Structure 1
Amino acid sequence: MKAVCFKAPYEIEIQEKDIPTLKDDEILIKVSAVAICGSDIHAYHGRQALFIYPRVIGHEICGTVEKINNPSSSFQLGDKVVVIPYSHCGNCIACKKGKPGCCEELKVMGVHVDGGLAEYCAIKECYLLKVPNTIDSTSLSLVEPLAISAHAVHNAKVQAGENVLVMGIGPIGMGAAEISKTYNANVILADISEERRAFAKKTLDYSNVLNPLDETFKQDLATLTKGNMPDTIIDATGNGKSMSSIFEYLSYGGKVVYVGISSTPLTINHVEFHKRQTELYSSRAATRYDFEYVINCIHEGTLNPNLFITDIITLDANIKDEFKRLMDKSSAMFKGIIAL
């Protein structure tokens, strides 16, 4: 079978590998589509700190069940499935608290271990979810990043009628905005990229889209929230300056969730943080509940992942050139899909 491997920064190799031999409780998946994650882009450019080369990439995966090595399996051949790409130990303090996303031994496919950008992959049954046959593969390949977004929104305990400010409208931030809308929250978006702001307005029909570098940014937030400022801020920028400064834009008694990761230390104005009695959360990975919530939203039509997709390529003889083209598009590619 073919698999896409990053040999080194800027070096892509299409490898021929054996179809995986199944271990106990594993299921062989014929991969249908894999979405390109920001971590894949960082790894391509040599900026993914956790990435070890060489590595088969891909963790936003959907496919169909091809073979089962469990006589009592709840899956059947031909089932459409989505992969939960994070493995956890089940024994550490985080796992015992029911928080597998911060497991001490967490491993992510395509980052710590080989991923699913291949014609087939073997997955333990506990990391698979069956999905309705009516949902198309391109939508299903975006379930994982949308589950990351859903986890951030769930951590924020967003309520109907709340004002939610999403800082950074890449795929994760935009997903957080779309998930917040399923809770009937009032969503405000902010990004310094004119391209991303235009995408949110034109493609996803948002009207309250601001530039945080504008001198009127704080006043605009006050106007949109009737003077109260946002009840919740979800920061998906990964920018240390943004993450450090957002407390002055928060309502009193408000909540902040960091879903982006800063590579630099944060310096927080404690007065602004303290006088609001701010609730501060970090959000990592996603739970089975988050995946199920996203799948249900897609099935019910309250979430349309295909609006995120700007590029689709196929796993064929041209994939190296096509993949490099997408890597060089930067923010012009909102979400890219590799179809198999």
Structure 2
Amino acid sequence: MKALVCSEPGHFYYTNKEKPELKKGWSILKIKRIGICGTDLHAYEGTQPFFSYPRILGHELSGELIETDGAPGFEIGENVTFIPYFNCGRCIACRNNKPNCCTRMKVCGVHIDGGMAEYLLVPSSSLLHGEGLSYDELALVEPLAIGAHGVRRANISHGEFVLVIGAGPIGLGTIAFARIAGARVIVLDINNDRLRFCRTEFKIEHTINALSDDVTEVLMKITNGDMPTVVIDATGNQKAINGAFQYMAHGARFVMIGLQKGDISFAHPEFHKREATLMSSRNATRTDFEQVIEAMKNGLVNPKTYITHRTKFSEVEHEFESWLDPKNGVIKVMIEMD
């Protein structure tokens, strides 16, 4: 089978590999769609934590189920997606129903080879029914689930002001599910095109450009002097994360969905006097995936809004670097298998 390998930062090559063989408790998918996300871009840049090379990228996937063992209720030929965080089932996190932060986590396309290939072997326990959704829609379930999980961690109350920092694909999913939770969403970014996208496609009333606006002043005005009671970072940018502590209301929660390699730094007295809560949000759970699928089916989320670029699998090697350039306006690239 044909596969695309990221051999080192900044370099891909196509290769032929053996098609995976079915084993007990696993299933084989014929990959149909591959979504590109920040994890893939950061891996290409060499800035992705928990990463080693060479690696076959790809974890936002959908495909056709062609062989299976241990997947009752699933049928050969069914459109499916899957949860790409392969957990051990035995550690303290797994025993406490938090498989998304398993101590022995193997994320498909990060710790182990992923889906930039014609076929992929996945645990049968990770499969999700397609529920009548298209391959495009199913490939977008995972990134939307990341946002849904972060929102669930925040435990948003109806009418709260929620500041989402970063209007990339993960940020947009976070925005969508924060709104579903009843939040009054404020979006902060440095890219005017993305902020415009939020206003036109997501009908977000309040958007702020961190480069040209006085962020604190604008937030004070929007929130009537209170500041946001929830701040969610979806940038994975060290400067953005460290700077966001100043935007928290007293009693606020700060949820970090974005991930970066450096240290978090903030003034302890300022954090302490707010009795603030700091949380990380890692991956997503089956509950989050099911919430996303249900939201898609009920029209609460329109996945097609996110797709701005399409390409064929055979063209990825040549086009990938261009997706890092903000001038190209990439929100979500969807790769179609040839």
What TM-score range do you get, normalising by the shorter chain? over 0.9
Q: 2:171 aligns with which of 170, 173, 190?
A: 173
Extract unaligned runs of 5+ from structure 1: none
User: What residue number does 2:16 align with?
Assistant: 16
8 A Cα contact 2:253 2:277, kept in partner? yes
8 A Cα contact 1:245 1:269, kept in partner? no
User: What residue number does 2:128 align with?
Assistant: 129
Q: 1:293 aligns with which of 282, 291, 294?
A: 291
8 A Cα contact 1:3 1:56, kept in partner? yes
8 A Cα contact 1:196 1:331, kept in partner? no
Residues 1:155 and 2:153 aligned together? yes
Secondary structure of 2:89 counterpart: coil
Extract unaligned runs of 5+ from structure 2: none
Residues 1:337 and 2:313 aligned together? no
How do 1:137-152 and structure 2 match up within 5 A? 137-152=135-150
Partner amino acid, structure 2, of 1:211: N
Question: What do you get for the CA RMSD once the two structures are aligned?
Answer: 1.8
How many residues are aligned here? 337
8 A Cα contact 2:80 2:129, kept in partner? yes
8 A Cα contact 1:256 1:278, kept in partner? yes
Partner amino acid, structure 1, of 2:184: N
Q: Distance in 1 between matches of 2:6 and 2:245?
A: 39
Q: Distance in 2 between matches of 1:271 and 1:74?
A: 55
Structure 1: which 4+ aligned runs deviate by more than 6 Å? none
Residue 330 of structure 1: how far off its partner (Å): 6.8
Residue 13 of structure 1: how far off its partner (Å): 1.5
- Greater displacement, 161-170 / 217-226: 217-226
Cα pair distance change 1:330/1:141, threshold 3 Å: farther
Q: Distance in 2 between matches of 1:94 and 1:334?
A: 33
Residue 236 of structure 1: how far off its partner (Å): 1.5
Residues 1:47 and 2:47 aligned together? yes
Q: Distance in 2 between matches of 1:219 and 1:327?
A: 31
Identity %: 39
TM-score normalised by length of structure 1: 0.93
User: What residue number does 1:282 align with?
Assistant: 280
TM-score normalised by length of structure 2: 0.94
Q: Distance in 2 between matches of 1:206 and 1:15?
A: 44
How do 1:53-202 and structure 2 match up within 5 A? 53-70=53-70, 73-133=72-132, 135-202=133-200
Cα pair distance change 1:96/1:331, threshold 3 Å: farther
Q: Distance in 2 between matches of 1:299 and 1:266?
A: 39
Residue 213 of structure 1: how far off its partner (Å): 3.8
Residue 92 of structure 1: how far off its partner (Å): 1.5
Residues 1:2 and 2:18 aligned together? no
User: What residue number does 1:326 align with?
Assistant: 323
8 A Cα contact 1:195 1:331, kept in partner? no
Residue 271 of structure 1: how far off its partner (Å): 2.1
Could you give the per-residue CA deviations for residues 122-164 of structure 1, whole angstroms, max 9, x where no partner exists? 111111111212x221121111111111111000001221111
Q: Distance in 2 between matches of 1:118 and 1:229?
A: 46
8 A Cα contact 1:4 1:118, kept in partner? yes
Q: Distance in 1 between matches of 2:13 and 2:176?
A: 35
Partner amino acid, structure 1, of 2:226: N
Residue 85 of structure 1: how far off its partner (Å): 0.7
